[in-house]
Amino acid sequence: MKIFPAIDLRGGQVVRLTQGDYDRMTVYGADPCAQAEAFRQAGASCLHLVDLDGAKDGAPVNFEAIRAIAQQGGLYIEVGGGIRTQERIQQYLELGVGRCILGSVAVTDFDFTARMLQTYGDRLAVGVDMKDGRVAIHGWKEVSDVDGLDFCRRLYEAGCTAVICTDIARDGAMQGTNLDLYRRLRQTLPGLAVTASGGISRMEELEALDQMGTAAAILGKSLYAGALDLAACVRRCEKKG
């Protein structure tokens, strides 16, 4: 199982939101490049980047910060947040980003999403953010009436190879992740690569996710708060010693 430490960007700074609330934000640093390099030095091979301004407003506010991180090299990078056009996908991929994550647009324009999945294959993933089982969009500000598990099935049938699934209620809360959600996803859609995100705060959770066949896990606040040690997580989950 791959470990993706997370850098959430807002106004060019490294931040974390609590349960998707833009009014409950903690700033962890002013230099995203330095944070990415620190993760790499700790043994990470992958990095999860989110443009929070983009997710909320649809504009690539943090594009230059993402460009700078990509130019440093040494990490497989996935990027999400406000990616709603093919032009934006192409721009990120041309920076050297490994894959782009479609979010809100997958709900609001499924036909576009299906076309992009056919065009870019495994260079696209879809972020499925859930609140009470329903898909949330536009930086988690709006909860749709779309059932999350049904939506993942529809994406898979359209050619999606990977989803990044977040239980918003668990994100940033440091109270554990929703293991049952990921277990149901793995049982229902065994051919879909699932990345678990939101609330992972103990090594035992990572081990449980690994054992059920989860493809990857995203670690955010647990790293910044010191609840988990990135180097230890990488060694355990990526079997590096």
Beta carbons of 171 and 164 less than 8 angstroms apart: no
Where does residue 193 rank: exposed (0-12), middle (13-18), buried (19+ CB within 10 A)?
middle
Helix (H) or strand (E) holding 91: helix 86-95
Q: Check 129, 167, 171, 210 and give the catalytic one.
A: 129
Beta carbons of 127 and 102 less than 8 angstroms apart: yes
Q: Which amino acid is at 159?
A: G
CA–CA separation, 197 vs 96, rounded Å?
Answer: 23
Q: Closest Cα to residue 33, out of 59, 3, 13, 61? A: 13
DSSP string, 30-86: S-HHHHHHHHHHTT--EEEEEEHHHHHHSS-TTHHHHHHHHHH-SSEEEEESS--SH
CA–CA separation, 92 vs 50, rounded Å?
Answer: 12
Q: Check 8, 53, 171, 210 and give the catalytic one.
A: 8
**Alpha-carbon distances, residue 167 vs 63, 123, 135, 149 (angstroms):** 26, 23, 10, 12
Strand duo 216-219 + 193-197: pairing? parallel
In the annotation, is 8 catalytic? yes
In the annotation, is 129 catalytic? yes
3-class DSSP assignment, residue 157? helix
* Residues taking part in catalysis: 8, 129
